[in-house]
Amino acid sequence: MFGREARQAGAAEQGKQPSRGRHIQLISRLIMIWVTLIGSYHKMLTRLAMVWVQRTQKPVET
């Protein structure tokens, strides 16, 4: 899904720009997608870790 959208966006922009710009844009777009995916998982994992640490270290207050 992500790859197809990125390819379509890249193809739309390729006509306007020289090949070097096209390469840089494609690479930067892939990096952005990668960073976004890693970032979202990282946030989720850190949140889970924080909750786990709080539960294990503190007694649960009811």
Domain boundaries, the chain: 2-57
pLDDT for position 13: 55
φ and ψ at residue 61, rounded to 5 degrees: -95, 125
pLDDT of residue 61: 61
CB–CB of 6/30 below 8 Å?
yes
Give the pLDDT confidence score for residue 62 in this predicted structure: 60
Q: What is the pLDDT of residue 37?
A: 87
Spans of the chain, pLDDT less than 70: 1-18, 58-62
Q: Give pLDDT, residue 5.
A: 59
Q: What is the pLDDT of residue 32?
A: 93
